[in-house]
Structure 1
Amino acid sequence: MAVDVPGLVAVVVFYIVILIIGVWASWKSKKVEKTCAGSKSEVTIIGDRNINVLVGVFTMTATWVGGGYIMGTAEAVYSPTQGLIWAMGPPAYLINFLLGGLFFAKPMRSKRYVTMLDPFQHRYGNMFTATLLLPALVSDILWVACILAALGGTMSIILGLSSALSIVISAAVSITYTFLGGLYSVAYTDIIQLSFIFVSMWLCIPFLALSPAVTDNSPTAHLNQTNSHSWLGELELANAGKWADEMLLLALGGLAYQALYQRILSAASSAQAQVTCFAAAGTVFIMGVPSVIIGAVAATADWNQTAYGLPPPFERGEAGKILPLVLQYLTPTWVSVLGIGSVAAAVMSSMDSVLLSSASMFTQNIYKTTLRKQVCGGVCVCLCVFGSVLSKVTQFLLSLSSFFLQASEQELQWVIRVSLLLVGLAGTGLAFGGDSVFAFWLVSGDLLYCLIFPQLVCVLHLRCANTYGAISGYVAGLLLRLVSGEPSLGIPPLLLYPGWKEENGVITQYFPHRTVSMLSSAICVITVSWLVDLGFCHQLIPHSWDLLGVFEERKEAEVEEVPVPHEEKSSILNTKF
């Protein structure tokens, strides 16, 4: 297929504009760093809590409206085995932001956390927090792979450009401006990207309606030789469990994304963070409507009247590329170029957020508080032991050790940059093997839903939750999820739930197994925390068995927080003065 030179030039111009805006935002970030009261790393991670509502709504919406959202929704509506009822993105994300504003924005923002892992670190300590980073990191890498695979497929169809080359170029642009400016670059480029997505996607709709191959878009317009299904889809009772599982995965799993809390924590106040969530709920739903229309058009179009011909995309195994196929064969060339621009914008608006979220959690919660102190601390202890032989230099080595234990702001900045570079490279490499965008989209939130979401609910809203319960819940959720299998990743199930089916040698679970894993994790956290608390507080379990020091720390905290009686305060004041 020949390369579409005018289209390629248009996309290159778009990339250059985005890169210029990202560089400008990085310059703005540097100015804020010079005048801010907080640390430079917080400017990079949460914009010094100075992102206004309008910018916050744009960047939050743009993060969720990625290549997976746009192409996955169109794929679900078009697919004969799914249909509109399985296009869960728009309603699920609407629910996600509403719940986020109601139950998560205020407790997170009011305590001035920097990342989603901060509440875990404050209550459970560093080691358990490090284990939570692993599923979050895997999820982010899969999300990057999902959105880059969406872009690669789109560019290869519309521009005739190599899918691998498209992925590499897009990843390089996104990594570059995020590397330079942190959240400021992400937020301000998101404004341009989301605006372009909205205009270009809606502009495609009239041309689709006027296409000769599309004579009727009604749900019953399928009685022709190229289509044999209604784009509304059907939900049979046997599939209800699978549908509910995937809907809850998208609606609740999104509440465990660091990208969400990065926007919440960058707001100037708790009230502003809640308003941002509520406003984003409406905008993200509206942004999904064009994809639904494109999927419906593809399901009712007569492909035999187009240059694509027969058999239709689904029978060729190209349902995951239905959006670029519709733009390529059912709209004028210049409109399809705008469509590729919208997908590119969606990819970069999500990818930059994902890169920054993973880098932020690793730097703030692992490197700064745990990794660096342990490594440098060990080195400094060795220096001090050696220095004890030379008594004159011992004091100097002790002061040197305390210096090394503190990471400088410049060092943290570079750790963030290196981290986001590594996550970007990992996701880019995985994107080359992605076939179904919708499958990648679901799997990216799987571990967050099963492992981190129940933990986050418990740590924010249950005072009884402790480290013993958290570890038990983590292990229970992880084991149940692993034994359930995952066809998208080629993992066979070891535990078969009721209603499972085997098709072409692949076993699919139709029981809501992800939700079972999530609920089991939450129940374990609550039950084990309560039982352990009961055992230690009533001395049913010896305090010497408190290997994690949970109740020793609680006892010390209670002693520190004991209020001084009013009479005692008065006597103390009188004694002093």
Structure 2
Amino acid sequence: MAVNIPGLVAIAVFYVAILTFGILIGRRKNKTGTADELFLANRSFGLVVACLTTAASMVGGGYVNGTAEVIGRDGMAWTIGPIGYNIGMALGGIFIAPKVRAARYTTILDPFQVKYGPKMGSVLFVSEFFGDVFWEAAIFGALGTTLSIVLDINITASVVISACVAVVYTFFGGLYSVAYTDIVQLFLIAVGLVLAVPFAVTSPVVDMSKVTTSWLGQVHSQHIGLYIDTIFLCVCGGVPWQAWYQRVLACKSPKLAQISTVVGACIALVLAIPPGILGVAGAATDWNATSYEGSLPLTFGEWTNILPMVLQFVCPQSISIIGIGAVSAAVMSSADSCVLASGTVFASNIYKNIFRPNASERELVWVLRVAIVVVGALGAIIALTVGTVYGLFILCGDLMFVVQFPQLICVLWVSFANSYGSLSGFIIAMFLRFAGGEPFLFIPPLIKYPYYDEKHGQMFPFKTMAMCISFIVIIGVSYLTDRLFKSGKIPMKYDILQCFTEEMEQKAVETKENGDQLQCNPEPSAEDELLEKKTTSFI
């Protein structure tokens, strides 16, 4: 198969156009070049921009390719990712977005550092960082396989070039470049994939009657635990993401942040329909009647490429090229979100709050830019070394679900939550999650939970269990240490995390100040009050 020259030219033009637009819009909008401008676009997002960029941050390469993959292979019943993540984002928009926007935070890690202190708050950067990197890897992996199939070019080259484009305009323009390119990319995704649908389902090599009922899928009894785990993982794991909180915190008001997040989730959910239909069309395709030369029936790994395969072997070439442009747009819209999110958290919460509290604006800007490059490079490397796109798409929510979700709920709504509870919950969650193993990262299980299957792995909803245990541990340890330290049963000299020492010292200072004030202005006695009344009456 020769290189698809027209397609290659079209993609090259698209990449150059997006790169140029991203840099130009960043230079136009960024007036001062300050860190706050790059982080949050001066909190200037209105309804339209906020809704569209929020939706685009969700609709990435892993989203569209993964949706087509799983609905074509396993059916609608197992297409939990796009539904679950968007429900989670909507719930976060309703309950959390207005709360954090009203507090004028810079990142979603700010409430942790405010409540627990900079060092303990920074520990939770670990799960945020790996979540972003895994998501980004899923995105680049999706694009790499798509370009290699449709254009017949080297997958490594396609991933590296795509990563460079996303990193470069984010490097220069920050959130302004990301948000406004998101709007263009979202439009291209909608047009490209919607346009491909009628050509795919009406192709002579596609017999939709073959999938009349099978496209719905089914959940067997032995998979109930895994199914429950995946549902909760997607819904709750979609809540703590910095990528969309960055949009929330950039909105003009808390109410606008709430509305735009819910609307953005609805838009993203609707945009899962076209790739879902293309995935079903792939399941209904007679691949022997196409120019496809791979193994048949399709292996588990080959289903990862079902969307680009439908575009290449089922649709006309012109539609195929437009479709690949849509997938490329999806990649850029989420890749830039990931690298900016992790870069912002590192620059603001790690570098500034811990290492360089007095860092200048210029210094923070360059720390952000270096972090953007590093995160982009890591995502590209993982994309070239790990398997299924949908696996990465789900995996990226694991740490956010098991570790970050209970932490976020506790820091925002549990008044007595403290560093001891947070650290204990973090350690327990990480241990229980990784003790269950992870086939996508080649980690064998240390603990074989009930219903473990040698072929399919953990059948017990151990991730949900780990999240619940972490939640209980955070609350339990926080409450216990709060009571023991404040009652004096544990001396303050053992408060190694400084949770209560500063609080007690502050109370002591306030008590002393109040006492001094009372001595200078003592409360009037009953006799004094009576004398004052007589004097007033006399006067």
* TM class by smaller structure: over 0.9
Find the counterpart in structure 2 of residue 197 from structure 1: 189
CA contact (8 A) 1:217 1:297 kept: no
Per-residue CA distance 1:421-445 (angstroms, 9 max, x = gap): 0111111111111321011111112
Distance of 1:163 and 1:536 partners within structure 2: 58
Q: Greater CA deviation, 299-308 or 342-351?
A: 299-308
- Mark the runs of 5 or more structure 2 residues left unpaired by the alignment: 523-539
- 1:248 deviates by 1.5
Distance of 1:68 and 1:91 partners within structure 2: 14
1:90 pairs with 82, 105, 111, which one?
Answer: 82
CA contact (8 A) 2:30 2:38 kept: no
Find the counterpart in structure 1 of residue 526 from structure 2: none
1:545 pairs with 494, 499, 517, which one?
Answer: 494
Distance of 1:325 and 1:88 partners within structure 2: 22
Asked whether 1:181 is paired with 2:173, we answer yes
Per-residue CA distance 1:539-575 (angstroms, 9 max, x = gap): 222222222221122234556889989x99xx79xxx
Find the counterpart in structure 2 of residue 8 from structure 1: 8
2:208 pairs with 216, 235, 253, which one?
Answer: 216
1:355 pairs with 335, 339, 346, which one?
Answer: 339
Alignment of 1:149-548 (within 5 A): 149-217=141-209, 219-220=211-212, 230-308=214-292, 311-312=295-296, 314-315=298-299, 317-372=301-356, 406-503=358-455, 508-548=457-497
Residues 301/157 of structure 1: CA separation in 2 closer, same or farther (3 Å cut): same
Alignment of 1:23-102 (within 5 A): 23-31=23-31, 33=32, 40-79=34-73, 82-102=74-94
2:454 alignment partner, SS class: strand
Per-residue CA distance 1:46-68 (angstroms, 9 max, x = gap): 11101111111111111110110
Q: Greater CA deviation, 540-549 or 305-314?
A: 305-314
Per-residue CA distance 1:468-507 (angstroms, 9 max, x = gap): 111110111111111111111111111111111112xxx5
- 1:310 deviates by 7.2
Distance of 2:26 and 2:261 partners within structure 1: 25
CA contact (8 A) 2:85 2:237 kept: no
CA contact (8 A) 1:132 1:452 kept: yes
Asked whether 1:143 is paired with 2:138, we answer no
CA contact (8 A) 1:89 1:288 kept: no
1:501 alignment partner, SS class: coil
Residues 54/559 of structure 1: CA separation in 2 closer, same or farther (3 Å cut): farther
Alignment of 1:101-116 (within 5 A): 101-116=93-108
1:146 alignment partner, SS class: helix
CA contact (8 A) 1:484 1:493 kept: yes
Find the counterpart in structure 2 of residue 398 from structure 1: none
Distance of 2:297 and 2:393 partners within structure 1: 20
CA contact (8 A) 2:343 2:371 kept: yes
State the Cα RMSD in Å.
Answer: 2.1
**One-letter amino acid matched to 1:111:** A
1:255 alignment partner, SS class: coil
Per-residue CA distance 1:257-285 (angstroms, 9 max, x = gap): 11021011000110000001110121011
Q: Greater CA deviation, 429-438 or 198-207?
A: 429-438
**One-letter amino acid matched to 2:170:** T
Distance of 2:91 and 2:490 partners within structure 1: 39
Distance of 1:69 and 1:316 partners within structure 2: 18
1:434 alignment partner, SS class: coil
- 1:94 deviates by 2.7
Per-residue CA distance 1:206-256 (angstroms, 9 max, x = gap): 1012100113256447xxxxxxxx222111122111111112112111211
- 1:78 deviates by 1.4
CA contact (8 A) 2:40 2:249 kept: yes
Residues 534/231 of structure 1: CA separation in 2 closer, same or farther (3 Å cut): same
- 1:313 deviates by 5.6
CA contact (8 A) 1:499 1:510 kept: yes
Distance of 1:166 and 1:93 partners within structure 2: 27
- 1:316 deviates by 7.5
Q: Count the aligned residue pairs.
A: 519
Residues 110/316 of structure 1: CA separation in 2 closer, same or farther (3 Å cut): closer
CA contact (8 A) 1:231 1:300 kept: no
Distance of 2:297 and 2:257 partners within structure 1: 43
Percent pairwise identity: 42
1:356 alignment partner, SS class: helix
- 1:30 deviates by 2.6
Distance of 2:222 and 2:59 partners within structure 1: 31
- 1:73 deviates by 0.8
- 1:14 deviates by 0.9
- Mark the runs of 5 or more structure 1 residues left unpaired by the alignment: 35-39, 222-229, 374-405, 573-577
Q: Greater CA deviation, 260-269 or 132-141?
A: 132-141
Distance of 1:412 and 1:370 partners within structure 2: 13
TM-score in terms of structure 1 length: 0.87
Distance of 1:560 and 1:83 partners within structure 2: 64
Per-residue CA distance 1:293-337 (angstroms, 9 max, x = gap): 111111122222222267436238411000000111111001011
- 1:528 deviates by 0.4
2:8 alignment partner, SS class: helix
